[in-house]
């Protein structure tokens, strides 16, 4: 009966197995830390270490005063590459809200700010701008599905393009949103997009405004729109909760 593995890992492994086998179903409460400690004959801290291993890998979530619960993973909000397609120009709902509706959720977008700012270096580089002062309009918003913040969206448009359009104000007022304005009022039609996708753990402020439980990474998508001259005219960064949202690319092989 050798047991070379540390007690905390043994407890964590036992719990993980119980979860994966379905013995502990999604939403169910784990034994309390004190219960685990006495059951395994360890100090409470040790049982607690085991639970926090599972928490930091996103398997369970602790609720203060209530217990530790198995996280449930529903279907993801899927941001598809065809969300910019002309096929969808006459849709009733914008892509995010349509996807939420498809899953029986209520989509909602909350505008945070619209400002003329100096672009961060990675943004300036992709828009072929010098990092000269206040050369872009920055629009920030947060998208919700049924009160869960799903992603934060930050859009940058060169001031030289956005100047004089409705894009400098929070309410856009165009049936097709900012892309409608960009095509209709400034003549930039989207012909290609380029999206650079990474994943990482959230920063503390992202944890804050997305209300992220520990152990949930974010998808970080840097989107560039190219116009009919293959020139970049708009950049958007999506920071998405990876446990609530995913990406789908459906593309031709060229």
Contact of residue 247 among a copy of itself, DNA, none (CB under 5-8 Å per partner type): a copy of itself
Encode 153-173: b = buried (16+ Cβ within 10 Å), e = exposed: bbbbbbbebbeebebeeeebe
Contact of residue 78 among DNA, a copy of itself, none (CB under 5-8 Å per partner type): a copy of itself
**Tokens representing residue 137 in the block:** 């309009």
C-alpha 221/C-alpha 141 separation (Å) is 15
> 113 or 203, CB closer to a copy of itself?
203
Q: Determine which residue in the list 86, 175, 177, 187 makes contact with a copy of itself, applying CB under 8 A.
A: 86
82 in contact with a copy of itself (CB under 8 A): yes
H or E element: which one contains 216?
Answer: none
**Tokens representing residue 106 in the block:** 């209520």
* DSSP string of 85-139, one letter each residue: -GGGTT-SS-HHHHHHHHTT--EEEEEEEEEEEPPPHHHHHHTT----TT-EEEE
7 in contact with a copy of itself (CB under 8 A): no
Q: How far is the CB of 105 from a copy of itself (least distance, A)?
A: 18
C-alpha 242/C-alpha 73 separation (Å) is 11
Pattern 183-202, binding to a copy of itself, x per CB under 8 A?
A: -------xxxxxxxxxxxxx
**Tokens representing residue 188 in the block:** 């930039």
40 in contact with a copy of itself (CB under 8 A): no
Q: Determine which residue in the list 215, 235, 236, 237 makes contact with a copy of itself, applying CB under 8 A.
A: 215
243 in contact with a copy of itself (CB under 8 A): yes
Contact of residue 6 among DNA, a copy of itself, none (CB under 5-8 Å per partner type): DNA
Q: Identify any residues that bridge with 240 across adjacent strands, giving them in sequence order.
A: 151, 219
Binding site for DNA (CB under 7 A): 6-9, 30, 32-35, 41-46, 48-49, 51, 62-68
Contact of residue 1 among a copy of itself, DNA, none (CB under 5-8 Å per partner type): none
Q: Which of 79, 111, 88 is nearest to 176 (CA)?
A: 88
C-alpha 101/C-alpha 91 separation (Å) is 13
> 25 or 199, CB closer to a copy of itself?
199
Contact of residue 209 among a copy of itself, DNA, none (CB under 5-8 Å per partner type): none
Instruction: Tell me which residues touch a copy of itself (CB under 8 A).
Output: 13, 16, 56-58, 76, 78, 81-82, 84-87, 190-204, 214-215, 217-219, 242-243, 246-254
């Amino acid at each position: 009966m050798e047991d070379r593995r540390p007690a905390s890992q043994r407890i964590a492994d036992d719990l993980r197995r119980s979860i994966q086998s379905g013995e502990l179903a999604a939403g169910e409460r784990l034994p309390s830390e004190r219960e685990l400690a006495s059951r395994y004959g360890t100090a409470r801290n040790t049982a607690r270490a085991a639970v926090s291993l599972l928490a930091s890998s996103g398997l369970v979530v602790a609720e203060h005063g209530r217990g530790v619960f198995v996280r449930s993973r529903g279907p993801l909000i899927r941001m598809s590459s065809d969300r910019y397609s002309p096929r969808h120009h006459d849709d009733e709902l914008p892509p995010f809200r349509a996807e939420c509706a498809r899953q029986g959720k209520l989509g909602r977008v909350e505008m945070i700010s619209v400002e003329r700012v100096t672009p961060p270096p990675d943004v300036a580089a992709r828009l072929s701008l010098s990092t000269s002062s206040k050369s872009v309009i920055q629009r920030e918003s947060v998208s919700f599905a049924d009160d869960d913040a799903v992603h934060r969206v930050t859009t940058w448009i060169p001031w030289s393009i956005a100047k004089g359009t409705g894009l400098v104000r929070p309410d856009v007022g165009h049936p097709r949103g900012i892309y409608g304005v960009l095509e209709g009022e400034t003549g930039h039609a989207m012909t290609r997009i380029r999206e650079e996708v990474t994943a990482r753990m959230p920063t503390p402020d992202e944890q804050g405004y997305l209300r992220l439980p520990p152990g949930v990474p974010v998808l970080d998508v840097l989107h560039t729109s190219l116009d009919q001259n293959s020139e970049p005219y708009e950049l958007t960064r999506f920071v998405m909760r990876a446990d609530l949202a995913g990406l789908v690319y459906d593309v031709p092989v060229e």
